[in-house]
Structures are given as structure tokens and as C-alpha cells.
């Protein structure tokens, strides 16, 4: 069923006309003025995530959402996964305790940046990137739509940019925070900034956090440490040097690999307790992420900037896991089998990024220009050990029966063969050269034109399969236009092409052809109440060929557990609405609604396990007049029905469905004085039981039940 335009037109009209009624009276100026943002959930800083031109949100011709440090603190958002779950227009699928997939506009997100520089996560995201702590980031930016100008070779979903905290304070300042929560969760955090010399030309910042505790899942407990340090030096009035490093270590015990079995052997769907998992006390999934970085920013006399960045990312993992699969006998609890697995691995990435940007005058107008290059090499190695009690050893992995899953799997940790087998040796290379310009045709009309020549190559071997694929020198064009209707309303349009190599394989073991397509977006960005409130209305159309879809008829083999087929003529059409700001003193709000339909050329829905409609709201209010120390807030995340399809154990076609649901959260904070405050957060306060993963039909995962945290914060400056 094609997307209906009537609700879309009504939504746009509803957004525009009340907005025009709220707009401030026009003044003599004809152009949209630079904004002075008020409120805790908006930023006035320029962004490099979409175009590299250093534009504000209002100047970027795409939908942009930002989670500020204040928003993350208010809502007690600690991980990248929680950021995604609370950002307008994006969603997640929890694969297990460590791995998560992110989606936007119907497609998976594969583009990530750190301080605007593209980066790659470890293969499969199995080194804890998606559950990394957010404490080291000042804000997290999500640009929806294709961002092939800066990242990879064109991803139609979104790009996530992690903006690190900077050492920008010349005076001693910071905070210490201690917290405790359900399941014996505990943490202590410190964030300290200071000038390091008398003039303040040398500054430093240190962030540290330790967390530990149990979980709602049986056996699972985690212990994590985060360290971050950065030095900034003004080498001159025009040159800034920044160097630093971060370290994140997670050591979860009772970790799960994979998800719960969906079916009993009679074909009925199982309904497990949310505490049920397929782990054992001996399972582990230890991850260590280390990042060393350096950048230098020089401003020339004419105002142009030369920026050079270097990043070295090391991802390490060491695990002992249990993968349970099959169907459960309703009476005996038997019928399942388990694979015992041990591996250790390391992924290392070196990235160099160079960028030159500035403005120039032509035809009595000022225009902007950026020229950049990226060079990135990543190597990944994984070593496996098999159980020593295999007799004879299977060719790929062992399989032992689960006697009674109702009493846990009961599988004990085996003695591991000391021989380490090098089962993954993969190298990934990225090269990118891009240029973009923003041309001011008039004071009201601006065009953004650019392109990227991208190379993405991967070769090596992985569990007996050789890899050698990718593409060289693919050109990805980008075009955008912005027009100021009034001094508070700006319309925009953008276009870019999509080209992305894939490592998904079909039922014959052959790699799918590259993903190809194009992305369009038009929208309206408005400002109200003297810049207190910002709104965005966006309409998008994404067309793709060769989109990888799970082949649910594929039975799986030891060599290949999952197969995909390339969906042709896939189109995603939808719209998004977002409101962010501080309408009145003390009241901060962020809210948004997104909706789309994604179908292939035959009209079949694609990626149905992801929500097509979402509403997300979070707001706080501080009683400035009556009780200024008190802030209360809360929010709700709603999504519509999702499902996956397949054949049950008795050969009947069916659906695994997650009905529409809402997650409600609350917060309250009391500030005793400028230094000391206490805060309470509660998530999923209605204790909703829901699936957080149903993509594979034959297995699923439950989301987190009701949770709460009490924290005490001390600030100094």
C-alpha cells in the first residue's frame, strides 16, 4: 500500500499555519538572522555532520536532532543505545547484551562520526560500541537522511556524530556524581576542567566513571570503567592544538549471545519471563575500547580554517559464550541445542582527516566553501578456541543438547582447547575526497552543492570464507537549497545518491550486489518566541535497489546461519515533525513524530520489525518563582505495531508481532544550593512487557522492565 499524502498534507498544514500565527512580527530585515538559542535542549553551535560547511541546524538542509549533555543528564541517558531510543525518527533492535542495530526511515544506520570525522565500528559491533557510555560526550548529533558527502559511500538512513567534551574552561570547575538504582546498580562519576597555566592558553579536562551492578536478566551483571582526558593548547591566537585519549572497559558476566527461542515444538509462541535468558554464570563478553586522537585548527588571516585530525581506535573483545537455538518441548523443556564458543579479537583503525574551509565574496554576496580528504585503514583479527571435549570435533562448532530449558540450559563451561584458530582476518580501507559550497544567490536564497569521490574496499577471510569486495572512486553528489520565506521561516530541499557495498550473502553463499539509490528531502524550519522554540517539518522519499532482507525460508548451515535476498525497487516515503526549545522560562521540551512506509517494487513491506510510526516526548519544568530548587519532568516514547514473518516448527506460515506500546519515564531534581542537588529517575514506570528484538522470527528479546535511579550531584567552580 502506497503512502497516503492526505495525512501528510494535513500534518504540514497544521505545522505551518499555527506556526505563522505564533511567529514574531516581521521586522525590516529580509533574511533569517543567526539564532541565539535559549533552553537546555538546543545548541547554537555549528555542525559538520551533514555537509562539513559548519552550518547551524537552521542552515542544514536535512533533519537534525541533538541530545545535549543537559538532556542526557535530565533523562539519565547513559549509553549510545539509550540515545537512539530517545531520538526522534530512529529506533533500535537489541541483538543481545552487547550488540544492537540502529534504524532510521526504514533502513539500518551504518554511518558514525566522532567530532565530525567518519569512523568504523568493529565488524558486527561486537566490541561494545552501541552500549558505550555517553559521559565523555558534550552532545550527540543525529542527521537523518543520506550523508554520503562526508560518510562512507552513501547511507540513506542517518549518521550519528559523537561530539567529545572539550577543555574549554580556564578556571577549575566540574562535578562529582554518585548514584544507586534497581538491581544493585551503582556508579560514581567525576568531570573536572581547569586551566593549566596562568594565561589559560593550556587547558585540561578529565572524566572518569565506574559502574557496577546486576540486571533484570538471570545471571547478568556488569562492571565498567570509563576514562577520558584531553589537553587543549593555544599555540598562537590563530592555532589550537587538541590531544587526548579515552578508555572504556566493560566486563559483563552472564552475558547473552543471541536471543530467546520463539516457539514451542507444537508451533505455539512461548511467553517467557523477562528475567529469562540463554546465558550461564560462566559466560563473558569483555570489551575494551581505546581511542587516541589529535587535531590542529589554524585560522589564516583571511578567516579560512585548516583542520587536521588523527584518530586511532582500538577495539578488543574476549568472550566465552553460549548460543541456544531450536524449539522447546512444552512438557519436558528439551529440544534445544547449544553452541559453546570462545574467542578473542582486536580491531584497529587509523584515520586521517584534512579539511580546508572558509568564505569568499562574489557578486556582492558571501559564500562558503569546504574541501576535505579522509584516509582510513582498519584491520580485524579474531581467534577461536573449541571445547576440548568434542569427540570427534565438528568442522565449525560444537552442538550439545539442552536437557531442560525450564531449569536453565544447564550447560557447564568446557575445558577449552589451548590452540587458537585464526578465523577472522579482515582489512577495510576507506578513501574519500569531497568538496562543497554554499552559494548565496540572494539574501534569501542559498544553494549547497557538493560531491564526494569515495573508495571502500574489504578483503581477507572470515570463518572459511574469503572476502574481496568493495568499490573504487564512486562519485556521490549532494545538492541542497534553502529559501527564507520570512525572517522566522525557512524552507529547504536536499538530494543525494546512495551507493553502499554489502557483505550480506544469499542462500547460495554469494555476496549481494551493492545497494544503490537516491534520497530526496524537503522541509520547513521555523523559529518562534524570540528564538525560544524551534520546529522542523520534513518530507522524504528514499529509493533503493538490492536492499538486503532476511530470507526466512533459509534453514541455515554450520557454514552460514542466515541468508538474505536483494529487494528491488524499495521505496520509503514519510515525514517527520520535531519541536525543541524553552517556550517559557523554566520549561524545556523536545518532542517529535515520525512516520513512513517502506515497500519493494511488488508492494511488499520491508524491514517490518522496525516501527513505521513513532512519537517521542521529554519535558522538564523548573518552578522558578515558587520553588526554584525543584525541577520535575517526564516523557513518553510510543511506537506502532511491528512484526516479522516466517514458518513455525510445524510448517505453518505466521507472524511474530509486537503490538503498539508506550514507555513512560519520570524525573525530579531538587537543588539544595548552587553546588548540591539530588535527582530521581524512573524508566518504564508502567512496567510494560515488550519485545526489543523480533527481526529473526524464530527468536526475540525482551526490553528492560521498570527501572529507577537516585543520584547525588556536587558541582564546584
Average pLDDT, stretch 303-314?
Answer: 95
**pLDDT of 557:** 61
pLDDT 10s digits, 362-416: 999 999 999 999 999 999 999 999 898 765 555 455 688 999 999 887 899 999 9
Grid cell 590542529 is found at: 296
Q: What CA–CA distance (Å, rounded) separates 436 from 50?
A: 11
At residue 69, the 3 state secondary structure works out as helix
DSSP H or E stretch at residue 84: helix 80-85
Whether residue 636 has pLDDT greater than 80: yes
Does 116 score more than 90 pLDDT? no
Residue 6 clears pLDDT 90, i.e. is over it? no
The torsion defined by the Cα of 75, 76, 82 and 87, in degrees rounded to 10, comes to 20
Higher-pLDDT residue of 33 and 352 is 352
511-536 mean pLDDT: 90
Higher pLDDT, 97 or 35: 97
* Mean pLDDT (whole number) for 248-254: 95
pTM: 0.90
DSSP H/E element including 18: helix 5-22
d(CA 664, CA 635): 6
What does residue 5 show for φ and ψ, rounded to 5 degrees? -85, -20
Distance CA 252, CA 270 (A): 27
Query: Which set of grid coordinates corresponds to residue 717?
Result: 567552580
> Per-residue confidence at 553, pLDDT binned at 50, 70, 90?
confident
Lowest mean pLDDT segment, chosen from 431-440, 522-531, 545-554: 545-554
pLDDT at residue 24, rounded to an integer: 37
Which secondary-structure segment (H or E) carries 619?
strand 613-623
Among 38-52, 176-190, 256-270, whose mean pLDDT is lowest?
38-52
Numbers of helices and strands, H then E, in the chain? 3, 38
Q: Closest Cα partner for 663 from 608, 617, 612, 709?
A: 617
Q: What is the pLDDT of residue 609?
A: 94
For 50-128, list the strands marked E by DSSP. Answer: 64-68, 90-94, 100-104, 107-108, 111-114, 117-119
Summarize the confidence of residues 590-617 as an average pLDDT: 93
Torsion of CA 261, 265, 267, 271, to 10 degrees: -40
* Residues whose CB is less than 8 angstroms from the CB of residue 216 and which lie 6 or more positions away in sequence, other chains included: 183, 274, 275, 704, 705, 707
Sign of the torsion formed by the C-alpha atoms of 509, 511, 513 and 518: positive
Among all chains, which residue has been given the C-alpha cell 577449552? 416
Mean pLDDT of the chain: 88
CA–CA separation, 440 and 435 (whole Å): 17
Q: What is the pLDDT of residue 14?
A: 34
**From CA 456, how far away is CA 376, in angstroms rounded?**
10
Amino acid at each position: 500500500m502506497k503512502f497516503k499524502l492526505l495525512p501528510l498534507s494535513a500534518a504540514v498544514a497544521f505545522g505551518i499555519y499555527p506556526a505563522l500565527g505564533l511567529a514574531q512580527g516581521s521586522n525590516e530585515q529580509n533574511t533569517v538572522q543567526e539564532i541565539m538559542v535559549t533552553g537546555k535542549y538546543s545548541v547554537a553551535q555549528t555542525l559538520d555532520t551533514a555537509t562539513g560547511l559548519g552550518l547551524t541546524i537552521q542552515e542544514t538542509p536535512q533533519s537534525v536532532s541533538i541530545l545535549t549533555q543537559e538532556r542526557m543528564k535530565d533523562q539519565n541517558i547513559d549509553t549510545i543505545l539509550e540515545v537512539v531510543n530517545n531520538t526522534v525518527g530512529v529506533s533500535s533492535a537489541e541483538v543481545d547484551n552487547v550488540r544492537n542495530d540502529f534504524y532510521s526511515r526504514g533502513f539500518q544506520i551504518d554511518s558514525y562520526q566522532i567530532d565530525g570525522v567518519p569512523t568504523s565500528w568493529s565488524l558486527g559491533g561486537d566490541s561494545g560500541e552501541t552500549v558505550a557510555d555517553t559521559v565523555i560526550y558534550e552532545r550527540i548529533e543525529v542527521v537523518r537522511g543520506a550523508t554520503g558527502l562526508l560518510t562512507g559511500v552513501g547511507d540513506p538512513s542517518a549518521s550519528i556524530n559523537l561530539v567529545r567534551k572539550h577543555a574549554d574552561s580556564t578556571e577549575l570547575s566540574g562535578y562529582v556524581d554518585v548514584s544507586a538504582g534497581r538491581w544493585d546498580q551503582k556508579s560514581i562519576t567525576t568531570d573536572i576542567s581547569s586551566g593549566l597555566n596562568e594565561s589559560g592558553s593550556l587547558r585540561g579536562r578529565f572524566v572518569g566513571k565506574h559502574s557496577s551492578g546486576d540486571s533484570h536478566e538471570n545471571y547478568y551483571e556488569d562492571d565498567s570503567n570509563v576514562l577520558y582526558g584531553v589537553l587543549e593548547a593555544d599555540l598562537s591566537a590563530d592555532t589550537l592544538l587538541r590531544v587526548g585519549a579515552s578508555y572504556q572497559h566493560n566486563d559483563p558476566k552472564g552475558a547473552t549471545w543471541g536471543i530467546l527461542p520463539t516457539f514451542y515444538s507444537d508451533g505455539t509462541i512461548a511467553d517467557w519471563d523477562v528475567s529469562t535468558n540463554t546465558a550461564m554464570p560462566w559466560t563473558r563478553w569483555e570489551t575494551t575500547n581505546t581511542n587516541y586522537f589529535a587535531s590542529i585548527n589554524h585560522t589564516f588571516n583571511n578567516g579560512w580554517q585548516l583542520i587536521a585530525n588523527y584518530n586511532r581506535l582500538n577495539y578488543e573483545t574476549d568472550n566465552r559464550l553460549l548460543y541456544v537455538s531450536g524449539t522447546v518441548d512444552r512438557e519436558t523443556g528439551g529440544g534445544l541445542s547449544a553452541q559453546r564458543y570462545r574467542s578473542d579479537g582486536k580491531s584497529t583503525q587509523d584515520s586521517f582527516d584534512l579539511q580546508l574551509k572558509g568564505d569568499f565574496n562574489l557578486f556582492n554576496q558571501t559564500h562558503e566553501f569546504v574541501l576535505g580528504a579522509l584516509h582510513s585503514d582498519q584491520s580485524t583479527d579474531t581467534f577461536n578456541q573449541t571445547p576440548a571435549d568434542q569427540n570427534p570435533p565438528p568442522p565449525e562448532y560444537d552442538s550439545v543438547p539442552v536437557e531442560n530449558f525450564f531449569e536453565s540450559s544447564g550447560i557447564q563451561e568446557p575445558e577449552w582447547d589451548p590452540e587458537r584458530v585464526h578465523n577472522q582476518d579482515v582489512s577495510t580501507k576507506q578513501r574519500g575526497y569531497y568538496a562543497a559550497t554554499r552559494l548565496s544567490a540572494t539574501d534569501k536564497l542559498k544553494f549547497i552543492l557538493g560531491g564526494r569521490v569515495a573508495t571502500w574496499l574489504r578483503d581477507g577471510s572470515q570463518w572459511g570464507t574469503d572476502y574481496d569486495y568493495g568499490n573504487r572512486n564512486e562519485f556521490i553528489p549532494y545538492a541542497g537549497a534553502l529559501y527564507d520565506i520570512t525572517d522566522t521561516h525557512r524552507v529547504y530541499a536536499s538530494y543525494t545518491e546512495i551507493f553502499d557495498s554489502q557483505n550480506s550473502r544469499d542462500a547460495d553463499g554469494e555476496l549481494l550486489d551493492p545497494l544503490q539509490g537516491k534520497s530526496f528531502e524537503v522541509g520547513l524550519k521555523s523559529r518562534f518566541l524570540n528564538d525560544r522554540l524551534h520546529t522542523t517539518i520534513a518530507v522524504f522519499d528514499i529509493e533503493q535497489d538490492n536492499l538486503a532482507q532476511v530470507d526466512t525460508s533459509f534453514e541455515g548451515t554450520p557454514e552460514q546461519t542466515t541468508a538474505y535476498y536483494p529487494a528491488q525497487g524499495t521505496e520509503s516515503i514519510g515525514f517527520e515533525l520535531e519541536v525543541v526549545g524553552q517556550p517559557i522560562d523554566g520549561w524545556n521540551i523536545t518532542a517529535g513524530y515520525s512516520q513512513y512506509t517502506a515497500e519493494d517494487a511488488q508492494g511488499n513491506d520491508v524491514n517490518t520489525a522496525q516501527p513505521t510510526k513513532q512519537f517521542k516526548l521529554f519535558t522538564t519544568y523548573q518552578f522558578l518563582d515558587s520553588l526554584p530548587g525543584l525541577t520535575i519532568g517526564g516523557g513518553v516514547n510510543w511506537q506502532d505495531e511491528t512484526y516479522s514473518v516466517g514458518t513455525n516448527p510445524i510448517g505453518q506460515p505466521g507472524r511474530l508481532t509486537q503490538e503498539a506500546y508506550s514507555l513512560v519515564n519520570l524525573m525530579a531534581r531538587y537543588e539544595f544550593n548552587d553546588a548540591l542537588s539530588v535527582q530521581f529517575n524512573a524508566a518504564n514506570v508502567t512496567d510494560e512487557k515488550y519485545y526489543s528484538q523480533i527481526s529473526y522470527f524464530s527468536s526475540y528479546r525482551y526490553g528492560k522492565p521498570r527501572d529507577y535511579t537516585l543520584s547525588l550531584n556536587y558541582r564546584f567552580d
